[in-house]
Amino acid sequence: MKVKKGKVFTAILMGIVMTTGGNMTEFNTEVKADISSEFEIPQADEAGRIGASMPYLRYDSKDAEIGNGAKIEESVKSERTKIASQASQQSYVSLPVKNSYAEWTAVKSGSGVTMRFTMPDSTDGKGLTGSLDVYVNGEFCQKVDLTSYYMWQYFAGGNPRDKNNGGVPCFAFDEVHFILNKTLNPGDKIRVQNSGRDNLIYGVDFVEIEEVPQTIAQPANSLNVVDYGAKPNDGKDDYNAIRNCISAANIQGKDVYFPEGTFNIGRKWTFYGKNIKVTGAGMWYTNIQFTNSNANSGGIAFAGENSCYNVEFCNMYINSNLSSRYNEQASYKCFSDVPGNGSVIHDIWEDHFECGFWLGDYSGTVDYSDGMKIINCRIRNNLADGVNFCQGTSNSVVYNCSIRNNGDDGLACWNNNYLSAKDETGNVFAYNTIDFIWRAGGIAIYGGDGFNIYNNYICDTFMASGIHLNTTFDGYKFNNTKNIKFENNTLVRCGTYKDSWGSSLAAIDISQNVKNVSFVNTKIYDAWHDGIALKDNIQGIKFENTIIYGSGTAGQKVSGNVGAAIKTSGSPKAQIDNISITNSAYNHNDKPYLFTGSYNGISILNELLYNNLAYEVPGYPEVSDVTKDEETIKPGDNETTPGNDNRNDTGNLMNSGTSSNSETVSNQNDETKKKITKNKPGKVKIKSVKKTKGKMKITLKKLRGVYRYQIKVSTSKKFVGKNTLTKNLKGTKAVFKKINVAKKYYVKARAYKIVEKKRLYGRWSGVVSK
């Protein structure tokens, strides 16, 4: 990513003091405009994309051709002891024996591969080493070395242990990325195969393939760390050379460049710098490897707003040698402390730290990050949080990042008041994808004010909620909160019937003394337990336009509850305006209940209960399907005919508790109720598919009583991308032109009726390939 900076340096040398302990040159420079102001963040947009826009395409285990003893391992109920529960869509390919394989056909070109894998732990908790082989079009391409050194944390109680203590095994998957020896083209086949050389059982969750960009050349007006003694790939510590280069750059008003290769650092890197850019050759080329595995012995610690501001850090991969939380005392963050006002960190791929980013000052002289931005980063496989804005961090942003497989909160704001730090305001989490969080929550807010959390996609949590709000930790909590807003967020397969402490967590879990938080345009798909939990003394909570497509999908009973759309306990106060639910496991006579618990203090306006409505759970990474697929039935579209509206004879909303405040439940006139028909069109069958001379002819079996048919044709099994075509037709025959006869295509169809001027769709047919 090329950035125009336009900054002017005015170095005022007040003396040069070199210290031991990692401190860089003391200097003063004139303060210029914030670098972060050059990076614009889009506003919340209900019609916009959901989640991060990343350059790779994911090929899931369910899409693989498998053979020679390979098999699909699944966990349909998200059981805690099955490691498939931690995989994408709760399934992965097991490669248990020699020559067992998983193979995918490339849809797009690319040579950069990220593979999410699992392999066994060792008895001492230090992990094993092994490898898998990669083939392209049936020919051996390369061996990929693997290790379980970073993997496996065990929860017999609330806190993790490195050795197997009989507790729930977490962090079962890690990932490795590599550049293929040859570029994949559309239609090429990539195979991952167990060679049998290590006598280990492997598993592959998915591969992601992308185009690898060209290396970034050394920018003008910059210093190269190699010129100061750092030597890539020699296995020696480069810290002193890096420190000297940055010191010289600060004095001369220049930037710093890391060329291609691996640079080793054996200690914590304390960073001093003002109005400075530190860039690598790209996240596929420049590697910073922290080699010390001890607690508090690695990562980049910014020196604070008086010695560090207007810093741009970008274009590199950063890894550590940490494999333990040391009883949660590791303090080994990739980026920590205070990068100072106006700083931006972008296009960083960080891996295997205690936390990815932990911003806040604990040094004794409190200062803050204000207007800081984290953009286009891959924040992966950390033992604890992905990003935590802590200790007064305000007006700061995480945008368009992939936050994956972290062992505490994915994104968090904790307004701790340690050392009398100020409260936090104005932080933004926008357009991020957060998946495979295996403890705590995808997004967690512990207080503050004026935050905006929008257009995020949270998926496949394990022993964790999707969105988590409580007042467990020290600090200002919600004492100064006027409004925190969540908007246009989508949660898929989130929540748990039992977390590491033995408690159930909803997809959206709000407890204790949280107040003044609003949720707008929220979609929840297949919550493992409750869809939304409202607990204790929360107040001022508002939900507007909420859809819950399935709750209690794990089917695990907790205190008699197998998962309600909304669970209440204590004395919560909330307002829910326009909510639609379906497929709640907590039901009566096959009708979904909105509540378990008492709804005293909960006002419901414009509720709509659907029962057993067919819908398609969106997959990853095609997150746009959730909000953009206009062909999908959306509650609120009024695609309805008269039917059962799921009320009892008195007209009150059915619930399992007592209705001590039933007047708060809005009772609309039955004539204005939105109801779902039970007479949807049947499932279409594809009669024939013929592909000749750049055309594809499709014939469907006729259904009675339908208005039209819809056909989708795509080179993608998931029917996404530019090579996806859609047609609506009156008859049962369709012709698609400009078909590439050399490519494999997938076809599916469905029928629809027009009811009250709206489309009512039937189920998709089975997928036919040609």
Residues 247-274 have a mean pLDDT of 97
DSSP-assigned letters across all residues of 107-134: SS-EEEEEEEEE-PPPTTSS--EEEEEE
Give me Rg for the CA atoms of the chain.
27
Report yes or no: 256 and 249 within 8 Å, Cβ to Cβ: yes
CA dist., res. 616 & res. 613, Å (int):
10
Q: What is the pLDDT of residues 432-478, one digit of tens each?
A: 999 999 999 999 999 999 999 999 999 999 999 999 999 999 999 99
Range in 13-22, 471-480, 642-651, 750-759 with the lowest mean pLDDT: 642-651
Residue 473: the pLDDT is: 96
Q: Is the pLDDT of residue 630 over 70?
A: no
- Match 């529960």 to its residue by tokens: 85
Range in 214-218, 244-248, 637-641, 706-710 with the lowest mean pLDDT: 637-641
State whether the Cα torsion 414-420-426-431 is positive or negative: negative
Residue 679: the pLDDT is: 61
Which residue, among 332, 470, 336, has the nearest Cα to 393 in the 3D structure?
Answer: 336
For 677, residues 6+ apart whose C-beta sits below 8 A from its C-beta are: 640, 641, 643, 755, 760
Residue 586: the pLDDT is: 66
CA dist., res. 190 & res. 103, Å (int):
6
Residues 85-96 have a mean pLDDT of 96
State residue 477 phi and psi, 5-degree precision. Answer: 55, -130
Alpha-carbon 679 to chain mean position: 37
Residue type, 6: G
Which residue, among 499, 437, 446, has the nearest Cα to 466 in the 3D structure?
Answer: 437
Give the C-alpha distances (Å, rounded to integers) separating 573 from 512, 531, 538: 12, 17, 6
Helix (H), strand (E) at residue 409: none
Residue 663: the pLDDT is: 34
Q: Is the pLDDT of residue 332 over 50?
A: yes
CA dist., res. 256 & res. 272, Å (int):
12
Residues 552-575 have a mean pLDDT of 88
Residue type, 284: W
Residues 339-368 have a mean pLDDT of 92
State residue 391 phi and psi, 5-degree precision. Answer: 55, 55
Report yes or no: 741 and 747 within 8 Å, Cβ to Cβ: no
Residues 477-497 have a mean pLDDT of 97
The confidence band for 354, taking pLDDT boundaries of 50, 70 and 90, is very high
For 88, residues 6+ apart whose C-beta sits below 8 A from its C-beta are: 58, 60, 61, 116, 205, 206, 435, 436, 460, 620
CA dist., res. 626 & res. 744, Å (int):
26
CA dist., res. 464 & res. 504, Å (int):
9
The residue ranges of DSSP E strands in 552-611, in sequence order, are: 566-570, 574-584, 587-588, 591-592, 595-596, 602-605, 608-609
Residue 609: the pLDDT is: 67
For 78, residues 6+ apart whose C-beta sits below 8 A from its C-beta are: 85, 90, 462, 493, 496, 497, 528, 553, 554
Which residue, among 43, 38, 59, has the nearest Cα to 192 in the 3D structure?
Answer: 59
Q: 735 versus 357: which is more confidently predicted?
A: 357
For 273, residues 6+ apart whose C-beta sits below 8 A from its C-beta are: 24, 246, 249, 250, 308, 311
Which residue, among 392, 386, 351, has the nearest Cα to 368 in the 3D structure?
Answer: 392
CA dist., res. 72 & res. 61, Å (int):
8
CA dist., res. 348 & res. 134, Å (int):
26
Q: Is the pLDDT of residue 233 over 90?
A: yes
Percent of all residues in the chain with a pLDDT value above 70, rounded to a whole number: 85
Q: What is the pLDDT of residues 373-393, one digit of tens each?
A: 999 999 999 999 999 999 999
CA dist., res. 353 & res. 407, Å (int):
11
- Match 């957060």 to its residue by tokens: 434
Kindly report the length of the chain: 770
Average pLDDT, the chain: 85
Question: Is residue 478 helix, strand or coil?
Answer: coil
Residue 588: the pLDDT is: 52
Q: Is the pLDDT of residue 164 over 90?
A: yes
The confidence band for 330, taking pLDDT boundaries of 50, 70 and 90, is very high
Residue 13: the pLDDT is: 28
The confidence band for 587, taking pLDDT boundaries of 50, 70 and 90, is low
Report yes or no: 93 and 62 within 8 Å, Cβ to Cβ: no
Q: Is the pLDDT of residue 650 over 50?
A: no
Other beta carbons within 10 angstroms of residue 512's beta carbon come to 16
CA dist., res. 656 & res. 585, Å (int):
13
Q: Is the pLDDT of residue 420 over 80?
A: yes
The confidence band for 67, taking pLDDT boundaries of 50, 70 and 90, is very high
DSSP bridge pairs for 532: 508, 566
DSSP 344: E
* Architecture in CATH of 686-769: Sandwich (2.60)
Report yes or no: 487 and 456 within 8 Å, Cβ to Cβ: no
Q: 624 versus 603: which is more confidently predicted?
A: 603
Q: What is the pLDDT of residues 683-718, one digit of tens each?
A: 899 999 988 777 889 999 888 778 888 898 988 887
Residue type, 487: E
**How is residue 71 written in tokens?**
């098999």
Question: Is residue 92 helix, strand or coil?
Answer: strand
Residues 545-569 as b/e (b if ≥16 CB within 10 A, e otherwise) read bbbbbbbbbbebebeebbbbbbbbe
Q: Is the pLDDT of residue 504 over 70?
A: yes
Q: Is the pLDDT of residue 637 over 70?
A: no
Residues 71-93 have a mean pLDDT of 95
Residue 261: the pLDDT is: 98
**How is residue 365 written in tokens?**
């002289």
| Cis, bond preceding 339 (omega within 30 deg of 0) | no
State whether the Cα torsion 242-248-251-255 is positive or negative: negative
CA dist., res. 375 & res. 348, Å (int):
8
CATH code for the domain defined by 57-210: 2.60.120.260
DSSP bridge pairs for 203: 94, 118
Give the number of C-alpha atoms closer than 13 A to the C-alpha of residue 36, restricted to the C-beta side: 23
Residue type, 403: I
Residue 672 CB burial class (10 angstroms; 0-12, 13-18, ≥19): exposed
| Cis, bond preceding 621 (omega within 30 deg of 0) | yes
CA dist., res. 206 & res. 18, Å (int):
49
